[in-house]
Structure 1
Amino acid sequence: MFEDIPLWADVRAVVRHELEDGPGCHDYAHTQRVIRGAVLIAEKEKPADFQAVLFGALLHDIARPEELASGGTLCHAALGAGKAERILRAAGCADESFIRHVSDIVRTHRYRGGEAPATPEARIVFDADKLDSLGAFGVARAFYFAGRIGARIHNTEEAALGSESYSREDSAYREYLVKLRYLPDRMLTETGRLLARERAQFMERFFDELNREAQV
Protein backbone atom coordinates (compact mmCIF):
# COMPACT_ATOMS: atom_id res chain seq x y z
CA MET A 1 0.00 0.00 0.00
CA PHE A 2 1.22 3.49 -0.97
CA GLU A 3 4.34 2.02 -2.57
CA ASP A 4 4.04 4.55 -5.39
CA ILE A 5 4.46 7.47 -2.99
CA PRO A 6 8.06 8.78 -3.02
CA LEU A 7 10.04 7.94 0.15
CA TRP A 8 7.23 5.81 1.59
CA ALA A 9 9.00 2.45 1.39
CA ASP A 10 12.25 3.81 2.86
CA VAL A 11 10.58 5.64 5.74
CA ARG A 12 8.30 2.71 6.48
CA ALA A 13 11.31 0.39 6.68
CA VAL A 14 12.87 2.64 9.33
CA VAL A 15 9.65 2.77 11.34
CA ARG A 16 9.17 -1.00 11.17
CA HIS A 17 12.74 -1.57 12.37
CA GLU A 18 12.24 0.82 15.30
CA LEU A 19 8.83 -0.44 16.44
CA GLU A 20 8.36 -4.05 15.35
CA ASP A 21 9.62 -5.53 18.63
CA GLY A 22 7.97 -2.93 20.85
CA PRO A 23 5.24 -3.65 23.43
CA GLY A 24 1.89 -4.67 21.99
CA CYS A 25 0.14 -1.40 22.76
CA HIS A 26 2.55 0.65 20.66
CA ASP A 27 4.24 -1.71 18.25
CA TYR A 28 4.38 -1.52 14.46
CA ALA A 29 0.96 -3.19 14.21
CA HIS A 30 -0.51 -0.25 16.15
CA THR A 31 1.09 2.14 13.68
CA GLN A 32 -0.46 0.19 10.81
CA ARG A 33 -3.90 0.48 12.40
CA VAL A 34 -3.42 4.21 12.92
CA ILE A 35 -2.53 4.60 9.24
CA ARG A 36 -5.70 2.74 8.25
CA GLY A 37 -7.76 4.87 10.62
CA ALA A 38 -6.20 8.05 9.28
CA VAL A 39 -7.01 7.03 5.71
CA LEU A 40 -10.59 6.23 6.71
CA ILE A 41 -11.03 9.66 8.30
CA ALA A 42 -9.20 11.50 5.53
CA GLU A 43 -11.46 9.98 2.88
CA LYS A 44 -14.37 11.82 4.53
CA GLU A 45 -12.62 14.95 5.78
CA LYS A 46 -10.72 15.68 2.54
CA PRO A 47 -7.55 17.32 3.96
CA ALA A 48 -5.42 19.46 1.67
CA ASP A 49 -2.28 17.35 2.17
CA PHE A 50 -3.10 13.65 2.20
CA GLN A 51 0.56 12.65 2.12
CA ALA A 52 1.23 14.64 5.30
CA VAL A 53 -1.53 12.59 6.94
CA LEU A 54 0.10 9.36 5.78
CA PHE A 55 3.62 10.22 6.89
CA GLY A 56 2.37 11.76 10.13
CA ALA A 57 0.51 8.56 10.97
CA LEU A 58 3.49 6.43 9.95
CA LEU A 59 5.90 8.40 12.15
CA HIS A 60 3.63 9.35 15.06
CA ASP A 61 5.14 6.85 17.53
CA ILE A 62 8.68 6.80 16.19
CA ALA A 63 10.17 7.83 19.55
CA ARG A 64 8.18 5.36 21.67
CA PRO A 65 11.31 3.26 22.33
CA GLU A 66 13.09 6.28 23.83
CA GLU A 67 10.11 7.13 26.04
CA LEU A 68 9.89 3.56 27.29
CA ALA A 69 13.63 3.40 27.95
CA SER A 70 13.39 6.61 29.98
CA GLY A 71 10.61 5.24 32.17
CA GLY A 72 8.25 7.87 30.83
CA THR A 73 10.40 10.89 31.64
CA LEU A 74 10.79 11.70 27.94
CA CYS A 75 7.79 12.66 25.80
CA HIS A 76 7.68 10.51 22.67
CA ALA A 77 5.64 13.14 20.79
CA ALA A 78 8.09 15.98 21.40
CA LEU A 79 11.12 13.77 20.81
CA GLY A 80 9.49 12.11 17.83
CA ALA A 81 8.93 15.42 16.04
CA GLY A 82 12.66 15.97 15.68
CA LYS A 83 13.31 12.32 14.93
CA ALA A 84 10.70 12.39 12.16
CA GLU A 85 12.44 15.37 10.58
CA ARG A 86 15.78 13.57 10.56
CA ILE A 87 14.28 10.41 9.08
CA LEU A 88 12.54 12.31 6.28
CA ARG A 89 15.71 14.22 5.40
CA ALA A 90 17.81 11.05 5.48
CA ALA A 91 15.31 9.41 3.12
CA GLY A 92 15.87 12.25 0.65
CA CYS A 93 13.00 14.62 1.34
CA ALA A 94 14.06 18.16 0.38
CA ASP A 95 10.70 19.86 1.01
CA GLU A 96 11.28 21.63 4.33
CA SER A 97 7.68 22.84 4.49
CA PHE A 98 6.44 19.26 4.23
CA ILE A 99 8.98 18.09 6.79
CA ARG A 100 7.83 20.74 9.27
CA HIS A 101 4.20 19.84 8.64
CA VAL A 102 4.80 16.16 9.39
CA SER A 103 6.87 17.13 12.42
CA ASP A 104 3.99 19.23 13.74
CA ILE A 105 1.60 16.30 13.29
CA VAL A 106 3.89 14.03 15.31
CA ARG A 107 4.44 16.63 18.04
CA THR A 108 0.72 17.30 18.60
CA HIS A 109 -0.74 13.79 18.37
CA ARG A 110 -0.40 12.89 22.03
CA TYR A 111 -3.51 12.73 24.25
CA ARG A 112 -1.68 14.33 27.16
CA GLY A 113 0.37 16.70 25.05
CA GLY A 114 0.43 20.38 25.83
CA GLU A 115 -0.12 21.56 22.27
CA ALA A 116 -3.36 20.98 20.36
CA PRO A 117 -3.27 19.89 16.70
CA ALA A 118 -3.53 23.04 14.60
CA THR A 119 -4.06 21.69 11.07
CA PRO A 120 -6.72 19.42 9.54
CA GLU A 121 -4.02 16.84 8.87
CA ALA A 122 -2.84 16.88 12.49
CA ARG A 123 -6.40 16.56 13.76
CA ILE A 124 -6.95 13.52 11.55
CA VAL A 125 -3.87 11.72 12.90
CA PHE A 126 -4.79 12.70 16.46
CA ASP A 127 -8.21 11.09 16.01
CA ALA A 128 -6.86 8.01 14.24
CA ASP A 129 -4.46 7.36 17.11
CA LYS A 130 -7.25 7.66 19.67
CA LEU A 131 -9.53 5.35 17.68
CA ASP A 132 -7.13 2.48 18.33
CA SER A 133 -7.84 2.90 22.05
CA LEU A 134 -11.53 2.15 21.45
CA GLY A 135 -13.57 -0.78 20.20
CA ALA A 136 -12.33 -4.37 20.20
CA PHE A 137 -8.69 -3.36 19.91
CA GLY A 138 -9.24 -0.84 22.68
CA VAL A 139 -10.44 -3.62 24.97
CA ALA A 140 -7.48 -5.80 23.98
CA ARG A 141 -4.97 -3.01 24.54
CA ALA A 142 -6.47 -2.08 27.92
CA PHE A 143 -6.17 -5.66 29.18
CA TYR A 144 -2.69 -6.00 27.70
CA PHE A 145 -1.49 -2.92 29.59
CA ALA A 146 -3.18 -4.00 32.82
CA GLY A 147 -1.44 -7.36 32.56
CA ARG A 148 1.94 -5.74 31.98
CA ILE A 149 1.68 -3.74 35.21
CA GLY A 150 0.24 -6.63 37.24
CA ALA A 151 -3.22 -5.16 37.74
CA ARG A 152 -6.32 -7.18 38.50
CA ILE A 153 -8.19 -8.67 35.57
CA HIS A 154 -11.34 -6.92 36.82
CA ASN A 155 -12.63 -4.95 39.78
CA THR A 156 -15.65 -2.97 40.87
CA GLU A 157 -16.37 0.58 39.74
CA GLU A 158 -15.78 1.79 43.29
CA ALA A 159 -12.37 0.10 43.52
CA ALA A 160 -11.37 1.23 40.05
CA LEU A 161 -12.30 4.87 40.52
CA GLY A 162 -10.70 4.99 43.94
CA SER A 163 -7.31 3.79 42.71
CA GLU A 164 -4.18 5.28 41.20
CA SER A 165 -2.45 4.65 37.89
CA TYR A 166 -0.05 1.70 37.85
CA SER A 167 -1.60 0.28 41.03
CA ARG A 168 -3.02 -3.21 41.57
CA GLU A 169 -6.47 -1.75 40.89
CA ASP A 170 -5.44 -0.07 37.62
CA SER A 171 -7.51 -2.52 35.62
CA ALA A 172 -8.76 -2.35 32.05
CA TYR A 173 -12.11 -1.34 33.53
CA ARG A 174 -10.48 1.59 35.32
CA GLU A 175 -8.92 2.77 32.05
CA TYR A 176 -12.36 2.65 30.46
CA LEU A 177 -14.02 4.50 33.34
CA VAL A 178 -11.49 7.31 33.74
CA LYS A 179 -10.48 7.88 30.12
CA LEU A 180 -11.71 5.74 27.26
CA ARG A 181 -15.46 6.32 27.56
CA TYR A 182 -14.86 10.07 27.22
CA LEU A 183 -12.73 9.89 24.08
CA PRO A 184 -15.58 10.36 21.56
CA ASP A 185 -16.24 13.85 22.94
CA ARG A 186 -12.56 14.73 22.60
CA MET A 187 -12.22 13.82 18.95
CA LEU A 188 -11.35 16.71 16.68
CA THR A 189 -13.02 15.68 13.41
CA GLU A 190 -16.66 14.86 12.76
CA THR A 191 -15.72 11.55 11.16
CA GLY A 192 -13.51 10.69 14.10
CA ARG A 193 -16.34 11.40 16.53
CA LEU A 194 -18.76 9.16 14.63
CA LEU A 195 -16.29 6.28 14.49
CA ALA A 196 -15.33 6.76 18.14
CA ARG A 197 -18.96 6.64 19.29
CA GLU A 198 -19.49 3.34 17.53
CA ARG A 199 -16.42 1.82 19.12
CA ALA A 200 -17.18 3.26 22.55
CA GLN A 201 -20.64 1.67 22.42
CA PHE A 202 -19.01 -1.70 21.84
CA MET A 203 -16.77 -1.15 24.88
CA GLU A 204 -19.75 -0.17 27.00
CA ARG A 205 -21.53 -3.40 26.05
CA PHE A 206 -18.39 -5.42 26.74
CA PHE A 207 -17.83 -4.03 30.23
CA ASP A 208 -21.55 -4.27 31.04
CA GLU A 209 -21.35 -7.98 30.22
CA LEU A 210 -18.12 -8.36 32.20
CA ASN A 211 -19.76 -6.76 35.23
CA ARG A 212 -22.81 -9.00 34.83
CA GLU A 213 -20.68 -12.15 34.71
CA ALA A 214 -18.62 -10.99 37.69
CA GLN A 215 -21.80 -10.90 39.78
CA VAL A 216 -23.04 -14.38 38.83
Structure 2
Amino acid sequence: MAKYFEEIESVLKKLMVEICKENPDPSHDILHIERVVRAAKKLSELENADLNIVVPAAYLHDCEVIEKSDPQRSQVSSLSAKKALGILKELKYPEKYFDGIAHAIAAHSFSSGIVAETIEAKVLQDADRLDGLGAIGVARCFSLGGKLNRPFYSDEDPYAESRTPDDNTNNLDHFFVKLLKVANKLQTPAAKEDGRKRTEFLKAFLTQLRSEIL
Protein backbone atom coordinates (compact mmCIF):
# COMPACT_ATOMS: atom_id res chain seq x y z
CA MET A 1 0.00 0.00 0.00
CA ALA A 2 2.87 2.38 0.79
CA LYS A 3 4.25 1.88 -2.71
CA TYR A 4 0.82 2.65 -4.17
CA PHE A 5 0.64 5.99 -2.37
CA GLU A 6 4.19 6.83 -3.48
CA GLU A 7 3.15 6.19 -7.07
CA ILE A 8 0.04 8.35 -6.66
CA GLU A 9 2.15 11.16 -5.23
CA SER A 10 4.51 10.95 -8.20
CA VAL A 11 1.59 11.08 -10.64
CA LEU A 12 0.04 14.08 -8.89
CA LYS A 13 3.33 15.96 -8.94
CA LYS A 14 3.76 15.37 -12.68
CA LEU A 15 0.19 16.49 -13.27
CA MET A 16 0.72 19.72 -11.34
CA VAL A 17 3.96 20.38 -13.20
CA GLU A 18 1.96 20.39 -16.43
CA ILE A 19 -0.84 22.55 -15.00
CA CYS A 20 1.71 25.07 -13.75
CA LYS A 21 3.45 25.15 -17.14
CA GLU A 22 0.13 25.92 -18.82
CA ASN A 23 -0.53 28.74 -16.34
CA PRO A 24 2.85 30.38 -15.64
CA ASP A 25 2.89 32.29 -12.37
CA PRO A 26 5.99 32.16 -10.13
CA SER A 27 3.84 32.85 -7.07
CA HIS A 28 1.73 29.74 -7.75
CA ASP A 29 4.16 27.45 -9.54
CA ILE A 30 5.24 23.87 -8.86
CA LEU A 31 7.75 25.14 -6.29
CA HIS A 32 4.86 26.64 -4.32
CA ILE A 33 3.03 23.31 -4.54
CA GLU A 34 6.10 21.42 -3.30
CA ARG A 35 6.62 23.83 -0.39
CA VAL A 36 2.99 23.45 0.66
CA VAL A 37 3.23 19.66 0.43
CA ARG A 38 6.38 19.61 2.59
CA ALA A 39 4.87 21.94 5.19
CA ALA A 40 1.61 19.98 5.21
CA LYS A 41 3.46 16.71 5.80
CA LYS A 42 5.38 18.20 8.73
CA LEU A 43 2.24 19.65 10.29
CA SER A 44 0.40 16.36 9.73
CA GLU A 45 2.99 14.47 11.74
CA LEU A 46 2.65 16.92 14.62
CA GLU A 47 -1.15 17.07 14.49
CA ASN A 48 -1.80 13.40 13.70
CA ALA A 49 -3.60 14.34 10.48
CA ASP A 50 -4.33 11.69 7.85
CA LEU A 51 -1.69 11.92 5.11
CA ASN A 52 -3.98 9.98 2.79
CA ILE A 53 -6.14 13.10 2.79
CA VAL A 54 -3.54 15.81 3.30
CA VAL A 55 -1.03 14.84 0.60
CA PRO A 56 -3.45 14.63 -2.38
CA ALA A 57 -5.18 17.78 -1.16
CA ALA A 58 -1.86 19.63 -0.90
CA TYR A 59 -0.79 18.63 -4.40
CA LEU A 60 -4.14 19.51 -5.96
CA HIS A 61 -5.17 22.57 -3.94
CA ASP A 62 -4.39 24.86 -6.90
CA CYS A 63 -5.36 22.49 -9.71
CA GLU A 64 -7.98 24.93 -11.01
CA VAL A 65 -6.56 28.26 -12.10
CA ILE A 66 -8.50 31.53 -12.03
CA GLU A 67 -6.73 34.86 -12.21
CA LYS A 68 -6.72 37.05 -9.08
CA SER A 69 -8.53 39.77 -11.00
CA ASP A 70 -11.32 37.44 -12.17
CA PRO A 71 -14.77 37.97 -10.55
CA GLN A 72 -15.00 34.18 -10.01
CA ARG A 73 -11.80 34.11 -7.97
CA SER A 74 -13.68 33.46 -4.71
CA GLN A 75 -14.91 30.16 -6.16
CA VAL A 76 -11.52 28.82 -7.22
CA SER A 77 -10.94 26.58 -4.19
CA SER A 78 -14.35 24.92 -4.57
CA LEU A 79 -13.70 24.43 -8.28
CA SER A 80 -10.28 22.97 -7.47
CA ALA A 81 -11.92 20.56 -5.02
CA LYS A 82 -14.33 19.36 -7.69
CA LYS A 83 -11.59 18.98 -10.28
CA ALA A 84 -9.34 17.19 -7.78
CA LEU A 85 -11.95 14.53 -7.11
CA GLY A 86 -12.30 13.94 -10.83
CA ILE A 87 -8.55 13.46 -11.13
CA LEU A 88 -8.40 11.11 -8.15
CA LYS A 89 -11.36 9.11 -9.39
CA GLU A 90 -9.56 8.49 -12.68
CA LEU A 91 -6.55 7.32 -10.68
CA LYS A 92 -8.82 4.96 -8.71
CA TYR A 93 -7.81 6.61 -5.47
CA PRO A 94 -9.83 5.25 -2.50
CA GLU A 95 -13.11 7.15 -2.43
CA LYS A 96 -13.34 6.95 1.36
CA TYR A 97 -10.90 9.88 1.42
CA PHE A 98 -12.79 12.03 -1.09
CA ASP A 99 -14.93 14.03 1.34
CA GLY A 100 -11.92 14.92 3.46
CA ILE A 101 -9.84 15.90 0.45
CA ALA A 102 -12.61 18.01 -1.07
CA HIS A 103 -13.24 19.87 2.18
CA ALA A 104 -9.53 20.52 2.76
CA ILE A 105 -9.10 21.99 -0.71
CA ALA A 106 -12.31 24.02 -0.61
CA ALA A 107 -11.45 25.52 2.78
CA HIS A 108 -7.80 26.37 2.14
CA SER A 109 -8.39 29.71 0.43
CA PHE A 110 -8.94 33.05 2.18
CA SER A 111 -11.40 34.13 -0.48
CA SER A 112 -13.62 31.06 -0.13
CA GLY A 113 -14.87 32.00 3.33
CA ILE A 114 -15.22 28.28 4.10
CA VAL A 115 -14.34 27.29 7.68
CA ALA A 116 -11.79 24.47 8.01
CA GLU A 117 -13.58 21.91 10.17
CA THR A 118 -11.20 18.93 10.08
CA ILE A 119 -7.60 18.71 11.22
CA GLU A 120 -6.60 17.86 7.64
CA ALA A 121 -8.26 21.03 6.35
CA LYS A 122 -6.59 23.10 9.07
CA VAL A 123 -3.20 21.60 8.22
CA LEU A 124 -3.54 22.38 4.51
CA GLN A 125 -4.86 25.86 5.20
CA ASP A 126 -1.93 26.59 7.53
CA ALA A 127 0.64 25.13 5.13
CA ASP A 128 -0.63 27.27 2.27
CA ARG A 129 -0.83 30.43 4.37
CA LEU A 130 2.67 29.99 5.77
CA ASP A 131 3.95 30.15 2.20
CA GLY A 132 2.66 33.71 2.02
CA LEU A 133 4.87 34.78 4.93
CA GLY A 134 8.60 35.19 5.53
CA ALA A 135 11.17 35.66 2.77
CA ILE A 136 9.24 33.52 0.30
CA GLY A 137 6.11 35.52 1.09
CA VAL A 138 7.86 38.76 0.14
CA ALA A 139 9.06 37.19 -3.11
CA ARG A 140 5.61 35.85 -3.95
CA CYS A 141 3.90 39.14 -3.11
CA PHE A 142 6.02 41.19 -5.47
CA SER A 143 6.03 38.49 -8.14
CA LEU A 144 2.24 38.48 -8.26
CA GLY A 145 2.12 42.26 -8.17
CA GLY A 146 4.45 42.38 -11.16
CA LYS A 147 2.23 39.99 -13.06
CA LEU A 148 -0.73 42.26 -12.32
CA ASN A 149 1.33 45.30 -13.35
CA ARG A 150 0.96 47.01 -9.98
CA PRO A 151 3.58 49.47 -8.67
CA PHE A 152 5.70 48.42 -5.69
CA TYR A 153 4.23 51.07 -3.40
CA SER A 154 2.30 54.32 -3.26
CA ASP A 155 4.64 57.22 -3.96
CA GLU A 156 2.64 59.64 -1.81
CA ASP A 157 2.10 57.39 1.22
CA PRO A 158 3.99 54.06 0.93
CA TYR A 159 3.03 52.80 4.39
CA ALA A 160 -0.65 53.82 4.25
CA GLU A 161 -0.21 56.06 7.29
CA SER A 162 -2.89 58.55 6.25
CA ARG A 163 -5.08 56.45 3.97
CA THR A 164 -6.84 53.10 3.86
CA PRO A 165 -4.55 50.37 2.44
CA ASP A 166 -5.64 49.09 -0.96
CA ASP A 167 -3.68 46.18 -2.40
CA ASN A 168 -5.47 46.53 -5.72
CA THR A 169 -3.40 49.66 -6.34
CA ASN A 170 0.09 48.63 -5.21
CA ASN A 171 2.04 45.67 -3.80
CA LEU A 172 3.18 47.01 -0.45
CA ASP A 173 -0.38 47.58 0.72
CA HIS A 174 -0.85 43.79 0.62
CA PHE A 175 1.30 43.62 3.75
CA PHE A 176 -1.17 45.82 5.63
CA VAL A 177 -4.33 44.38 4.09
CA LYS A 178 -3.42 40.73 4.60
CA LEU A 179 0.11 39.46 5.22
CA LEU A 180 0.72 40.99 8.65
CA LYS A 181 -2.59 39.52 9.85
CA VAL A 182 -2.13 35.95 8.61
CA ALA A 183 -0.24 34.60 11.64
CA ASN A 184 -3.18 35.42 13.92
CA LYS A 185 -5.44 33.23 11.77
CA LEU A 186 -3.26 30.12 11.73
CA GLN A 187 -4.80 27.19 13.57
CA THR A 188 -2.20 24.58 14.48
CA PRO A 189 0.39 25.26 17.24
CA ALA A 190 3.44 24.58 15.06
CA ALA A 191 2.11 26.79 12.27
CA LYS A 192 1.39 29.59 14.73
CA GLU A 193 4.99 29.53 15.96
CA ASP A 194 6.41 29.41 12.44
CA GLY A 195 4.00 32.13 11.36
CA ARG A 196 5.14 34.36 14.21
CA LYS A 197 8.77 34.05 13.11
CA ARG A 198 7.92 34.67 9.47
CA THR A 199 5.87 37.73 10.39
CA GLU A 200 8.87 39.14 12.26
CA PHE A 201 10.77 38.85 8.99
CA LEU A 202 8.02 40.78 7.20
CA LYS A 203 8.27 43.54 9.79
CA ALA A 204 12.05 43.65 9.45
CA PHE A 205 11.66 43.89 5.68
CA LEU A 206 9.27 46.82 6.05
CA THR A 207 11.71 48.57 8.38
CA GLN A 208 14.58 48.13 5.95
CA LEU A 209 12.47 49.20 2.99
CA ARG A 210 11.40 52.35 4.82
CA SER A 211 15.05 53.32 5.26
CA GLU A 212 15.61 52.93 1.53
CA ILE A 213 12.59 54.71 0.07
CA LEU A 214 11.76 57.49 2.55
Normalised to the residue count of structure 2, the TM-score between the two structures is 0.88
Compute the displacement of 1:34 (Å): 0.5
Asked if structure 1 preserves the Cα contact closer than 8 Å seen for 2:81 and 2:106, the reply is yes
**Could you tell me how far apart the structure 2 residues matched to 1:133 and 1:116 are?**
19
CA distance in 2, matches of 1:31, 1:203: 22
Kindly state the Cα deviation for residue 160 of structure 1 after the two structures are TM-superposed.
8.7
Task: Report the equivalent of 2:29.
Answer: 27
Render the CA deviation track for 1:169-210: whole Å, top value 9, x for unaligned.
x22x21111110111110011111111111010110011110
Distance 2:165 2:68 in 1: 26
Distance in 2 separating the partners of 1:139 and 1:185: 18
Superimposed CA distance per residue, residues 99-140 of structure 1 (whole angstroms, 9 cap, x where no aligned partner): 221111111111121211111011000000000100001000
The aligned runs of 1:58-69 (5 Å cut-off) are: 58-64=59-65, 67-68=66-67
Q: Counterparts of 1:165 and 1:154 in 2: how far apart (Å)?
A: 9
User: How many equivalent residue pairs?
Assistant: 207
Alpha-carbon spacing, 1:70–1:147, altered in 2? closer, same or farther (3 Å): closer
The alpha-carbon distance between structure 1 residues 183 and 69, as it changes in their structure 2 partners (threshold 3 A), is closer
Are 1:3 and 1:9, in contact at CA under 8 Å, matched by a contact in 2? Answer: no
What does residue range 193-208 of structure 1 map to in structure 2 within 5 Å? 193-208=192-207
- Stretches of structure 2 that go unaligned for 5 or more consecutive residues are none
In percent, how many aligned pairs have the same letter? 25
Q: Corresponding residue for 1:153?
A: 152
Distance 1:160 1:131, change over 3 A: farther
Q: Contact conserved, 1:20 with 1:29, CA < 8 A, in 2? A: no
The amino acid that maps onto 1:41 is L
Distance 1:69 1:195, change over 3 A: closer
Conserved? CA contact 1:56–1:102, under 8 Å: yes
Query: Which residue pairs with 1:85 in the alignment?
Result: 85
Matched, 1:177 2:176: yes
Where 1:20 maps in the other structure, the secondary structure is helix
Deviations 1:55-100 (A, max 9, x none): 1111111112xx139924252101011101010011122x222122
- With 3-12 and 129-138 compared, the bigger mean Cα shift is at 3-12
Q: Does 1:54 align with 2:55?
A: yes
1:13 partner amino acid: K
| 1:59–1:113 distance in 2 versus 1, CA, 3 Å | same
Distance 1:129 1:210, change over 3 A: same
Cα distance change on mapping 1:147 and 1:70 into 2, 3 Å: closer
